[in-house]
């Protein structure tokens, strides 16, 4: 959400929408092809990629400021860096650009990057690839280290307060890695692919959604990866069906996430169900909470829902 209250949302129809807090349309921008990544909202505008092989910078009013050509689909979210860069992945390449669209550098993995980049306080960039590696890249665009995790790394990493990097993989593991040298601190088998972004709670708890055969939301201890709780949803038995990403946490510690069973779930801090809400399609997109307390939910039924949690 922009500071003027505009809600920014992208769609698989290839458009970026600006809405007011009542859901009324303020603007619509055609980005040429499907948009899978969440828009990055900054004080200097909105940044988003599309499957038209382009990365866009827009004003807060929805006017396109630049289009940066990329090698392939830009279907992951962008991330800002403290050194002034905007990071995004396209194909097997990680790009760093200035906010005006000027290219700073690019680094290539061996295979496609479905992972959105994460940026540490010191400016180091972390991104996963389907070459099975987690990469650490310096602000100058040099590979600091890479770590083979034994399977596709489509999960977007998360960074703990002590700079430990945590990430999931198609080996059904969540792995904690030292930022300094790329050494594994611990790894936990969670019983299903971890393909979405991880999230970290206010108390340091690590959260992840998993795919089948029994999809669940899992909460892990940050020190050693021990499981605090699991909350399971009904699966189909298929390894490709599940929960894409970790939850968003509200000020009371409640957790909210969506799943491919078309539902949105609200859990207590301890993992007990508070309520669930059915939409008309898969809920793969990350949820967001507005400053006024609305829970925003994008669904594959083509609708954006605004829910109020008691």
pLDDT at 310: 58
Beta-bridge partner residues of 154: none
Q: Residue holding tokens 């593991």?
A: 173
pLDDT at 4: 81
Question: Which 3-state string (H, E, C) describes the chain?
Answer: CCCCCCEEEECCCCEEEEECCCCCEEEEEECCCCCCCCCEEECCEEEEEECCCEEEEECCCCCEEEEEECCCCCCCCCEECCCCCEEEEECCEEEEECCCCCEEEEEECCCCCCCCCEECCCCCEEEECCCCEEEEECCCCCEEEEEECCCCCCCCCEECCCCCEEEECCCCEEEEECCCCCCEEEEEECCCCCCCCCEECCCCCEEEECECCCCEEEEECCCCCCEEEEEECCCCCCCCCECCCCCEECCCCCEEEECCCCEEEEECCCCCEEEEEECCCCCCCCCEECCCCEEEEECCCCCEEEEECC
**Per-residue CA distances from 96 to 119, 129, 222, 289, 302 (Å):** 12, 17, 30, 28, 31
N- to C-terminal Cα separation, the chain: 22
**Domains assigned to the chain:** 253-310 (2.40.10.480)
The string over 101-127, giving b where at least 16 C-beta atoms fall within 10 Å of a residue's C-beta and e elsewhere, is eeebeebebeebbbbbbbbbeeebbbb
pLDDT at 196: 94
Name the strands in the sheet holding 294-298, side by side, starting at the edge strand that comes first in the sequence. Answer: 288-289, 294-298, 304-308
Rounded CA-CA distance 302/256 in Å is 20
Which is nearest to 267 in space by CA: 234, 222, 230, 301? Answer: 230
Cβ–Cβ under 8 Å, residues 49 and 88: yes
- The residue ranges of the chain whose pLDDT is under 70 are 309-310
pLDDT at 309: 64
């Amino acid at each position: 959400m922009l500071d003027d209250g505009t809600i920014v949302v992208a769609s698989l129809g290839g458009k970026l929408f600006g809405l007011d807090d009542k859901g009324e349309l303020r603007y619509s921008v055609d980005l040429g092809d499907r948009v899978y990544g969440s828009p990055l909202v900054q004080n200097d505008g909105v940044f988003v990629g599309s499957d038209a092989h382009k990365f866009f910078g827009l004003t807060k009013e929805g006017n396109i400021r630049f289009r940066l050509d990329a090698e392939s689909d830009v279907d992951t979210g962008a991330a800002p860096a403290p050194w002034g860069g905007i990071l995004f992945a396209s194909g097997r390449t990680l790009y760093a650009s200035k906010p005006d669209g000027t290219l700073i550098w690019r680094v290539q993995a061996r295979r496609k990057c479905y992972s959105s980049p994460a940026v540490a306080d010191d400016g180091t960039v972390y991104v996963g690839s389907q070459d099975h590696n987690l990469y650490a890249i310096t602000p100058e665009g040099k590979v600091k280290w890479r770590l083979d995790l034994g399977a596709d790394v489509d999960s977007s990493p998360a960074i703990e307060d002590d700079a430990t990097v945590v990430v999931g993989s198609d080996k059904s593991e969540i792995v904690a890695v030292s930022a300094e040298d790329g050494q594994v601190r611990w790894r936990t088998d969670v019983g299903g692919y971890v393909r979405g972004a991880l999230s970290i709670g206010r108390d340091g708890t690590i959260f992840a959604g998993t795919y089948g055969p029994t999809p669940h939301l899992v909460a892990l201890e940050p020190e050693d990866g021990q499981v605090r709780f699991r909350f399971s949803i009904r699966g189909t038995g298929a390894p490709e069906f599940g929960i894409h990403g970790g939850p968003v946490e509200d000020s009371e510690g409640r957790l909210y996430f969506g799943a491919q069973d078309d539902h949105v779930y609200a859990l207590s801090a301890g993992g007990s169900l508070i309520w669930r809400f059915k939409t008309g399609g898969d809920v793969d997109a990350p949820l967001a909470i507005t400053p006024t307390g609305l829970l925003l939910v994008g669904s594959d039924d083509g609708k954006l829902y605004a829910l109020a949690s008691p």
